[in-house]
Structure 1
Amino acid sequence: MKEEILQKATDLFLNLGFKSVTMDDLAHEMGISKKTIYSHFENKTRLVEESTMNLFCVISNGIDHIVSLKKNPIEELYEIKKFVMSHLKDEKASPQYQLQKYYPRLFETLKKKEFEVMQECVVDNIERGIEIGIYRENLNVQFVSRIYFSGAISLGDHDLFPSSMFTKVALEDYYLEYHLRGIVTPKGRKILNSIINSNQE
């Protein structure tokens, strides 16, 4: 039952937001009593923590799996983006923004964990890209990987990127293309253009 509650809570949080979903809403959606929820989670904060960390683990494991396939590094980044977006339901309720606002301590913990996972993944991606000649060999790998992370985090800032101006999907597409165009060689650019063109068909 705990897993089912976690799954349903995560869906609701992603679609409606951490702030607006109450324990009553969750109980009603699942057709169970609030008492049942409280027997597994002492309060809403605990539920938010566990659902957030659970989703983080699912996404991290998925990214690890994609990286283990050792695809072309440019394709790999597009695969990861697609996978993450499918699990975040296009982030209708901007969970990152809401976490930062209403659960700042949890947001900071999550950000540190995300940095560790992303840093390792992006450094590996860049190094392999340089090795096979699709990324420029004069890149400062640590600088590029950290700039990539800081930019990815800032996409969730509604003041910078209001949803009235950008959809989440479009933002992710623009950002990934922006990152790659800055680091590819002419050989890499051909691969990038072919992926972008096939995505537009």
Structure 2
Amino acid sequence: MAIIIDNKARIREKAKELFIQLGLRRVSMDDIANSVGMSKKTLYQYYTDKETLVAETIEMILKSNSINCETCREKAKNAIHEGFLATASVSDMMRHMNPVLLLDMQKYYPLAYKKFLQFKEDFLYNFLRHSLEWGVRDGLFRKDIDVNFVSRLRLESIHLPFQLSFYDAMKTDLGTLQEEIFILYLYGIATPKGTKMINKYRIEKQKPFTDDNK
């Protein structure tokens, strides 16, 4: 049983690398088998179809992201610091991500896309809402903002870099686009006290969390 679990984890990790680089649709089971160093017949002993592998790999990525977000919250000094830490962590991964990944998921892999939507609504929305409420309490974000509305606005803005027409027009990587959108979002809701804090953290570049510095 331990060998099976280990091999499945190894397959998912290699699949993740290929999916991030190339998107979901362009990667075949042959590609994954070759990357892992096993025959396709052996691969099918662990994953009988690509849709299941895609769904479990996306679930692995989402779980890792949620853990990173919680780690950022634990280490953050305030809501703005939390946002910078979380954005640095996500942007680091997204610098190497193919923007077609989300579109592929939506069009061709409904099970994986359902997991993504559930993560977005159940975890990410509440994470953003908590951060806004924290910032308002500390006087970093304006008291007149509608927390539910702004949480939703920020949540949906995360999709923007994955719009291929927008991505192509901006001529930069997904990570940089996410960082710039995040900065504009912060300045739009910040108090004068919060603006000073934003300027401070922009100068003090935040490092993404790794196994070495968690």
* TM-score normalised by the chain length of structure 2: 0.85
Q: What is the letter of the counterpart of residue 147 of structure 2?
A: V
Is the Cα–Cα contact under 8 Å of residues 97 and 158 in structure 1 kept in the other structure? no
2:150 paired residue among 144, 162, 173: 144
Instruction: Give runs of aligned pairs for residues 9-158 of structure 1, distance below 5 A.
Output: 9-88=15-94, 90-104=96-110, 106-158=112-164
Does 1:5 pair with 2:11?
yes
- For residues 137-181 of structure 1, what are the alpha-carbon distances to aligned partners after superposition, in whole Å with 9 as ceiling and x for unaligned? 111110110010011123211123326633212211210011101
Deviations 1:78-104 (A, max 9, x none): 111111233445313541122123224
Equivalent residue letter for 1:134: L
Which whole-Å CA distance do the structure 2 matches of 1:94 and 1:14 have between them? Answer: 9
Task: Give distance in 1, aligned partners of 2:95 and 2:106.
Answer: 19
TM-score (ref. length: structure 1) = 0.91
Is 1:162 aligned to residue 173 of structure 2?
no
Identity %: 27
Residue 193 of structure 1 pairs with residue 199 of structure 2: yes
Q: Structure 1 residue 199: deviation in Å?
A: 3.6
Higher relative contact order (CA 8 A, sep 6+): 2
Worse overlay, 57-66 or 91-100: 91-100
Residues 12 and 93 of structure 1: is their aligned pair in 2 closer, same or farther, counting only changes over 3 Å?
A: farther
- The amino acid across from 2:34 in the alignment is H
- Aligned residue pairs total 200
Comparing 104-113 with 136-145, greater Cα deviation is found at 104-113
- Alpha-carbon deviation of 1:70? 4.3
Amino acid paired to 1:170: T
CA pair 35-50 structure 1, distance change in 2 beyond 3 A: same
The answer as to whether partners of 1:49 and 1:106 remain within 8 angstroms in 2 is yes
Runs of 4 or more, structure 1, over 6 Å off, are: none
